[in-house]
């Protein structure tokens, strides 16, 4: 579904003015938070969670708990800004921080999102390989088809199919129960931190943060909530953000548990999509690769269409360029150029011979983790500005937890860069 379609659908939701029926108000507001939080369970997310489980078993579940708290706070701040200001993130950055800061933040998002677009086309190629098809026969045609569908405004017709295919990933919670893990060990993984100061551990930890608190999730959530207009209160948006964060990360936890129980104890590394699919064998047996491949293809195709479009909208909105899929190249050259360029870049990189699919997917999530502090600092500056938020600025507890997230991610990024440099030396 393109952003125009999302906007039109959201505008058709009528504000609720009946406080006597809070359940109807809740049902109306739920949605953007759930969608945004579950967007992390795409190709890169699955690769990261599977690698975490395969390499460290349940040893990083404690980090997922802390990340979930941070995700809920960050998502809530974005949703609250959308409710209070009625504007998207790019609009507020341009208005409140000036052109230079806007250029820096948008450049960061552009680089991070370009990496994600690449990862989605890599996911399409990996899914094709699971079905015995060459990525050369699948990736280029899919890139063209998705580009054409979005520009023709008919992507919404096939979006439901891709969305339904992602439901195959719900097989991981079932597989986690069927494999009968040591639930006492799982519980210890949630409450007992285990730290390893090596490059692999730090890389996966940053990737875990980057794939769970992906910057574009906050952009989508704020814009979606802002488009709802009146009838949505900060309390309702907060509840949606919290439910979305918790639900999305429960699925993530089950992926780690399933892969930890099946791959970690069998000493199976996740180097290919087929390796990640093996965690589903207790549930699906010989059909594990088919189920995983279908889910991977659906999630990747869904994001491969939406991500370039969302990025083009954000960047052009920030600088006031003409935008819209109904425009021609002469009317909106920057918007359509960005969308086309990102789509082509993703497809071309995915075709590089000898590419390590899982490693590349994890690298893109690390890239998002490195970009995250820049986006979070921008969000915190805006959400604590009384001229922007009025009485809805952050409280002390929120600021402490939010800044702790920034410091933690920045520290991890610094350690990662130091370890990388030392490794090169």
With a cut of 70, say whether residue 221 has pLDDT above it. Answer: yes
**Structure confidence at residue 186 (pLDDT):** 95
Per-residue pLDDT, 313: 86
pLDDT at 333: 94
User: Residue written as tokens 């608190």?
Assistant: 213
Q: What is the pLDDT of residue 107?
A: 92
- pLDDT tier, 422 (very low <50, low <70, confident <90, very high otherwise): low
pLDDT of 38 reads: 65
| pLDDT of res. 425 | 56
Distances (CA, A) of 120 to 160, 279, 292, 322, 401: 18, 21, 15, 27, 31
Do the beta carbons of residue 246 and residue 73 sit within 8 Å? Answer: no
C-alpha distances in angstroms, 9 versus 84, 161, 312? 21, 18, 20
pLDDT in tens, 17-43: 334 344 444 444 456 777 666 666 778
Q: Is it the case that residue 118 has pLDDT exceeding 90?
A: yes
> Going by C-beta distance under 8 Å and a sequence separation of 6 or more, which residues neighbour residue 38?
244, 247, 248, 251
Tens digits of per-residue pLDDT, 136-154?
A: 999 999 999 999 988 887 7
Q: List CB contacts of 50: < 8 A, sequence separation 6 or more.
A: 255, 256, 259, 263, 270, 275, 276, 279, 358
State the burial class of residue 199 (Cβ atoms within 10 Å of its Cβ: 0-12, 13-18, 19+).
middle
Whether 342 shows a pLDDT value over 90: the answer reads yes
* Terminal CA-CA length for the chain: 47
- Considering only the top CATH level, what class is 3-424? mainly alpha
Following DSSP, what letter does each residue of 63-75 receive, concatenated?
Answer: HHHHHHHHHHHHH
Find tokens 């892969």 and name the residue.
259
Q: Could you give the CA distance from residue 233 to residue 120 in angstroms, rounded to a whole number?
A: 34
- As a dihedral over the C-alpha atoms of residue 139, residue 285, residue 261, residue 52, rounded to 10 degrees, the angle is 0
**Burial bucket for residue 4 (CB in 10 Å: 0-12, 13-18, 19+):** middle
Q: Does residue 67 contact residue 208 with C-beta atoms inside 8 Å?
A: yes
Could you tell me the CA-to-CA distances from 11 to 220, 225, 412 in Å, in that order? Answer: 15, 11, 41
d(CA 105, CA 89): 11
All structural domains of the chain with their residue ranges: 3-424
Share the mean pLDDT of the chain.
84
Residue 140 contacts residue 351 (beta carbons within 8 Å): yes
């Amino acid at each position: 579904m393109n952003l125009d379609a999302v906007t039109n659908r959201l505008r058709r939701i009528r504000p609720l003015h009946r406080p006597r029926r809070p359940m109807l108000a809740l049902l109306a507001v739920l949605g953007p938070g759930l969608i945004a939080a579950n967007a992390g369970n795409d190709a890169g997310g699955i690769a990261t969670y599977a690698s975490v489980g395969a390499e460290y078993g349940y040893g990083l579940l404690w980090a997922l708990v802390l990340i979930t708290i941070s995700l809920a706070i960050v998502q809530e701040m974005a949703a609250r800004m959308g409710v209070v200001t009625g504007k998207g993130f790019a609009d507020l950055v341009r208005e409140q921080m000036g052109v230079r800061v806007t250029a820096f933040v948008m450049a960061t998002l552009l680089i991070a999102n370009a990496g994600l677009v690449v990862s989605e086309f890599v996911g399409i190629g990996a899914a094709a390989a699971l079905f015995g098809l060459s990525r050369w026969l699948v990736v280029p045609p899919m890139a063209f088809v998705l580009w054409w569908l979005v520009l023709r405004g008919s992507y919404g017709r096939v979006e439901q199919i891709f969305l339904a295919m992602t439901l195959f990933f719900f097989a991981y919670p079932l597989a986690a129960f069927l494999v009968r893990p040591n639930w006492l060990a799982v519980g210890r993984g949630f409450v007992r931190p285990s730290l390893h100061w090596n490059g692999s551990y730090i890389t996966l930890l940053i990737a875990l943060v980057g794939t769970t608190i992906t910057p574009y999730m906050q952009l989508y959530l704020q814009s979606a909530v802002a488009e709802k207009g009146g009838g949505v209160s900060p309390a309702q948006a907060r509840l949606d953000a919290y439910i979305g964060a918790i639900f999305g990360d429960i699925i993530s936890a089950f992926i780690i548990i399933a892969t930890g129980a099946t791959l970690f104890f069998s000493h199976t590394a996740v180097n290919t999509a087929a390796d990640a699919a093996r965690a589903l064998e207790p549930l699906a047996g010989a059909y594990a690769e088919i189920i995983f491949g279908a889910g991977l293809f659906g999630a990747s195709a869904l994001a491969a269409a939406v991500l370039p479009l969302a990025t083009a909208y954000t960047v052009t909105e920030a600088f006031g360029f003409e935008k819209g899929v109904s425009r021609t190249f002469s009317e909106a050259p920057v918007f359509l150029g960005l969308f086309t360029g990102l789509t082509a870049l993703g497809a071309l990189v995915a075709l590089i011979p000898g590419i390590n699919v899982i490693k590349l997917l994890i690298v893109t999530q690390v890239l998002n983790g490195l970009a995250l502090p820049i986006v979070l600092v921008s969000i915190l500056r805006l959400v604590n500005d009384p001229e922007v938020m009025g009485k809805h600025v952050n409280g002390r507890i929120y600021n402490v937890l939010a800044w702790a997230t920034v410091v933690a991610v920045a520290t991890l990024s610094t350690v990662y860069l130091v370890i990388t440099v030392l490794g090169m030396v």
